[in-house]
Amino acid sequence: MMFKIVDWVDLYEVNDRGDPAKPGESLRRKPLDYIRLRNHGRAVGLGFRRMQSLTRDKRLTWDTFGKFCKLLEIAGAAPGSQRGMLLNEKGLPASVEDLAFLFDVPVDDMQFTMDVLCDPLVHWVHNNGQSPSPVNNSEVPNSSGNLRKFTGNPEDSGKSPETEKKTTNRYEPQKQARNGVSRESPENLRKARKTREKICRLNNRTEVKLNRIKESSNVKPSIKKHSSFQSLSDRNKNQTGEKIGSARPETRLSLICQKFALAATEIINKRWPRKHEQIEMDAQDLVSLARHVACECPDSERLKDQLDKLLELLREKAACPRLNPGSFFAAAMKRFPSWRKRKK
């Protein structure tokens, strides 16, 4: 008895260059590194359909097909003259027992697989020891290796009784969870309601953030009408809750300088990349506007002096080829510690 892959040379063999072998070409001497399999795409092929008609079970069909792919690897691992034959580890023709030991499956299971592959309807494997005989599909091996007999006609359902039982139970409502608690218990319903409410809150927050981003992207930056310098003395409260108009001179000076630094950072961020002259013009306009606002401060001369120093810092940062927008504000706060926000 010797098992051999049908049409091995035409379907799977390669020449010395690794290309599909043609008639008259010399075959590869060493074992094959790869096995050529026909690509059916999303289809399964006619031979697979015929195999499925024999096994009457999709699981057994895929199991047989997977074993056949492994048999191709065994046949391709032999030398050139013996390729296509199923040999054991000693180089002798492999028996069903040898293949069962190699696949680590029961002998009855492997025997059924070889019967399907050698069946005239499929005929993917040829057995030289005996003539091919039709498979008796009324007996199909189960997972334990024993033979299982069908109680009825397999053509009525096309599935085994165990498969039908699993399919029926799969669509039944599962009222008991793994821990034995009913899914319809008040505790589970309360958890589900909280989860839905949490998801709704997250969705609402996401929509609000998206709307803010859209609104901010539609607003064009303007220097003369900058929000940081629009009526600083008339604004109700700043971030610390203090009124700028009624604040102390030092606090008021610090707040104005902070607004200036933030506005300058926004210029570099939104107007970049631009020419150095254009950034310089924007900075000059910003300084003029800041000086106009600083006239309300009692210590206006001191503020003008610090604004001039801040303008030099802006020129220094704007001349960099790769400018980090946040570095300007950080450098300004580091160079002028008195501008930092004072806590009460």
For residue 202, how many other CB atoms are within 10 A of its CB?
Answer: 10
Question: In this structure, are 7 and 124 located in the same domain?
Answer: yes
Does 137 share its domain with 269?
no
Q: Is residue 176 part of a domain?
A: no
Which of 140 and 186 is assigned the larger pLDDT? 186
pLDDT digit string, tens, across residues 275-308: 555 555 555 666 665 555 555 555 556 666 666 6
Distance, CA of 311 to chain centre: 49
Q: What pLDDT does 33 receive?
A: 84
137 occurs within a structural domain: yes
209 falls within a domain = no
DSSP string, 288-340: HHHHHHHTTSTTHHHHHHHHHHHHHHHHHHHTSSS--HHHHHHHHHHH-GGGS
246 close to 219: Cβ distance less than 8 angstroms: no
Cβ atoms 115, 135 nearer than 8 A: yes
Q: Which positions ≥6 away from 223 have C-beta within 8 Å?
A: 263, 267, 282, 285, 286, 289
Last residue of a domain, one of 95, 122, 148: 148
Instruction: Quickly tell me which residue has 């005996």 as its tokens.
Output: 130
Same domain, 8 and 124: yes
Strand 139-141, strand 3-5: pairing? unpaired
- Statement to judge: residues 105 and 238 lie in one domain: no
Asked if residue 268 has pLDDT above 50, the reply is yes
Residue 259's pLDDT is: 63
Percent of the chain with pLDDT over 90: 11
Segment among 106-120, 211-225, 232-246 with least mean pLDDT = 232-246
Please name every residue paired with 141 in a beta bridge, in sequence order, or none if there are none: 147
pLDDT of residue 172: 43
Burial class (CB in 10 A: 0-12, 13-18, 19+), 90: exposed
| Residue 132 lies inside a defined structural domain of this protein | yes
| Least-confidence region, from 76-85, 111-120, 227-236, 333-342 | 227-236
Domain match, 136 and 19 both: yes
> Is 43 a domain residue?
yes
- Pair (138, 243) in one structural domain: no
Mean of all residue pLDDT scores within the chain: 67
Do 143 and 246 lie in one domain? The reply is: no
Is residue 68 predicted with pLDDT exceeding 60? Answer: yes
Note the pLDDT of residue 155: 45
Distances (CA, A) of 335 to 218, 330, 340: 34, 9, 10
Which domain range does residue 234 map to? 227-339
Q: What is the pLDDT of residues 201-238, one digit of tens each?
A: 877 877 777 777 766 655 444 444 444 444 433 443 34
What confidence score (pLDDT) does residue 217 get? 57
Determine if residue 180 is left, alpha or beta; phi over 0 gives left, psi from -120 to 50 gives alpha, anything else beta: left
Helical residues (DSSP H) of the chain, grouped into ranges: 8-11, 46-55, 58-76, 96-103, 107-118, 154-157, 161-170, 186-218, 249-271, 276-294, 300-318, 325-335
Do 242 and 139 lie in a common domain? no
CB-based contacts of 322, cutoff 8 Å, min separation 6: none
Question: How many domains is the chain built from?
Answer: 2
Last residue of a domain, one of 88, 122, 148: 148
Q: What is the DSSP string of 209-250?
A: HHHHHHHHHHSPP-STT-GGGSSGGG-S--TTS--STTS-HH
Say if residue 325 is preceded by a cis peptide, omega within 30 of 0.
Answer: no
Of 133, 148, 163, the one marking the end of a domain is: 148
Do residues 132 and 3 touch, judged by C-beta distance below 8 A? no
Which of the two residues, 101 and 16, has the higher pLDDT score? 101
pLDDT for 317-341, tens place per residue? 555 545 454 555 566 666 655 555 4
What pLDDT does residue 244 have? 43
Q: What is the pLDDT of residues 158-188, one digit of tens each?
A: 444 444 444 444 434 444 444 555 556 777 7
Residue at 70 is within a domain: yes
Q: Is 9 found in the same domain as 142?
A: yes
235 and 143: one domain? no
Residue 168 is assigned to a structural domain of this protein? no
Are 118 and 241 found together in one domain? no
Q: Are residues 233 and 139 in the same domain?
A: no
Crossing angle of helices 58-76/96-103, nearest 10°?
100
Query: Is 107 inside a domain boundary?
Result: yes
Render pLDDT for 29-46 as a digit per residue (tens, 0 to 9).
888 888 888 888 888 888
| pLDDT for position 125 | 92
DSSP state at residue 141: E
The first and second tokens of residue 16, run together, are 């010395």
pLDDT band, residue 112 (cuts 50/70/90): very high
